[in-house]
A and B are shown apart, each in its own frame.
Chain A
Amino acid sequence: MNANLTGYTGDPRIRLTEWLPWIVAAAAFFLLPEYLALGVRILIFILFALSLDLILGYAGIITLGHSAFFGLGAYVAGCLSAKAGVSDPFVQLAAAAGAAGLLGVLTGAVILRTRALTLLMLTMAITSILLEIANKWTSMTGGADGLSGVTVAPILGAFKFDLFGRVAFIYCLAALFVAWLLVRRLIYSPFGAMLTGMRENTMRMHAVGAPVYMRLIAVYTISAVMAGVAGALLTQTNQFVGLNVLGFELAGELLVMLILGGVGRIYGAFVGPVVYLVVQDYLAKQFPEYWYFGIGFILVLVVIFAPGGILGLLDKIRLGGRSS
């Protein structure tokens, strides 16, 4: 974790290397037009992973329940469109963000009083509740069949989603860019320094007068909003939402993506999903039975041998073996 770059002694200016992801994205747009659908999925998951990194990597809260916000955002956007006929994309996003944020505040207030196992279990329980609701409330959510008939009006009145995913890609890229700027601001701010403090030594934070509980709820809510927006984007670009958005597999996969990239450093959330989804796209089609096994295996390997993820390994190589 590059603690020297954030905080009070840090340097908040955007470094050249930080523009790399955006250059790559632009290049992909022009050079790989057949893969834009995959690209859209990657962008959405980067946003999702970023939201998880805020809570997991920076605030240090272990949760398996982020799908709750993702799924809620996805369904809110879907239901708003398919059931209430609201097809303006920004209204859908706003509604998803609002719903996820509300859930974040409410559940955060409840579960952030607990820690470790209890907290983990509660996050899963909340997701399970939402899954039950989505499953049973078939009139609204389509139940196990999912909700189709989601329409999204042309963005800004002019750009309709096309078959090749060009508009979707730019749309998601823009959303991710905004999110990135905001998260970056947050990380470099005093609030971000405080998050690091909370993660490093919660006891000390209490002893310097920080209202730890309130701050955790704040970052949890922000993270929930981001996840909700990511979910909505998924619904909008797929024009469909199904029960899998609330499933354990998705939550597990997201965790893998983030760990793969490296936790607690914004760009881990960028690297992880790219590597995971690209490899999945290639391998899962060829060897579906082995894919799941391979993922589990890689996760075990990473945890035992490379806890810092890909970026952590790169750091080690760069610093010549000195622990980062």
Chain B
Amino acid sequence: MTPVLETQKLCKSFGALTVAQNIDFRLYAGDRHALIGPNGAGKTTFVNMLMGALAPSSGRIHLGGEDVTRVRQAQRVKRGLGRTFQINALFKQLPVLDNVALGIAERRGEAPHMWRPASSHREVIQEAQELLSTLGLGDDARIPVKDLPYGKQRLVEIAIALGLSPKVLLLDEPAAGVPSMESERILKVLDRLPPEIAILIIEHDMDLVFRFARRITVLVQGEVLTEGAPGEIAHDRRVHQVYLGEQHHA
């Protein structure tokens, strides 16, 4: 079975500083894969390279079997790659519906239309509304994002990515900064994500990781330390060492 997302010997250096070294990574359809590692391990850099926001120094990236190492971000998105940002990247002044609709319109190719008003593009609006409803944001459609509590904003972040109908979804710390009362809602959403999407989640919250992931990769100082099922990782002594003092729960 071909992986939907694959990297081969991915490396990235900024001058003398190496942030990624020979990362081999494979993600298959329907995977629930977590990427963990101490702060500064290079996780977000890795995601940025996968998305095409950052060019690798060497190595290859394959999306859906095709080499996308040189392909621009917007193109990769069109081919089914979506992401959320660790720090919200939302259109804060705009209503929730618009935030999601922008991505849906891009996907449907209706975004460059200059003549008919946006509000008359019924299918886009309907799809956005339905998506919001499945995430529990249905009633908030017309509220500007900046007026929502942080937990709901994180959900909008996920909603935008889902609106792109991705085949691969990269979630960068989706529950980060969310008060524990609201994070349950996010966890429920994550549980209910479409099973055919391949998901890579970066997280520090070990509860979430062990609840959600079926495979875990541990990244330390830009290199893959180990990869395996949650049970194996939990008992791996090297992982314990790396997380000495940082571990929440095993």
- On whether the beta carbons of A210 and B144 are closer than 8 Å, the reply is no
- On whether the beta carbons of B105 and A193 are closer than 8 Å, the reply is yes
Residues of A in contact (CB 8 Å), total 35
What residues on B are CB-neighbors of A205 within 8 Å? 102
CA distance A203 to B87 in the complex (A): 12
| Complex: chain A residue closest to B101, CB-CB | A8
Q: Which of B85, B94, B110, B113 has the most chain A CB atoms closer than 10 A to its own CB? A: B94
- On whether the beta carbons of A8 and B125 are closer than 8 Å, the reply is yes
**B-binding residues in A (CB < 8 A):** 1, 3-4, 6-12, 185-186, 188-194, 196-197, 200-201, 203-212, 215, 218
- On whether the beta carbons of A190 and B94 are closer than 8 Å, the reply is no
- On whether the beta carbons of B77 and A7 are closer than 8 Å, the reply is no
Residues of B in contact (CB 8 Å), total 46
Within 8 A of A (CB), among B51-83: 51, 53, 73-75, 77-78, 82-83
- On whether the beta carbons of A208 and B102 are closer than 8 Å, the reply is yes
Q: Which of A196, A206, A207 has the most chain B CB atoms closer than 10 A to its own CB? A: A207
What residues on A are CB-neighbors of B73 within 8 Å? 206-207, 209
For residue B138, give the distance in angstroms from its CB to the closest CB of chain A: 14
For residue B126, give the distance in angstroms from its CB to the closest CB of chain A: 11
Using known A-B contacts A208-B164, A212-B74, determine if residue A193 contacts B98 with beta carbons closer than 8 Å. yes
- On whether the beta carbons of A193 and B103 are closer than 8 Å, the reply is no
B192 within 8 A of A: no
CA distance A197 to B142 in the complex (A): 16
Instruction: Give 1 or 0 for each of B117-137: 1 = CB within 8 Å of chain A CB.
Output: 111110011001000000000
B242 within 8 A of A: no
What residues on B are CB-neighbors of A201 within 8 Å? 89-92
What residues on A are CB-neighbors of B142 within 8 Å? 4, 9
CA distance A246 to B86 in the complex (A): 46
- On whether the beta carbons of B119 and A194 are closer than 8 Å, the reply is no
- On whether the beta carbons of B93 and A194 are closer than 8 Å, the reply is no
A-B complex: 7 closest residue pairs judged by Cβ atoms: A209-B77, A12-B117, A208-B103, A8-B101, A204-B89, A188-B117, A200-B91
Using known A-B contacts A9-B119, A11-B119, A208-B102, determine if residue A191 contacts B95 with beta carbons closer than 8 Å. no
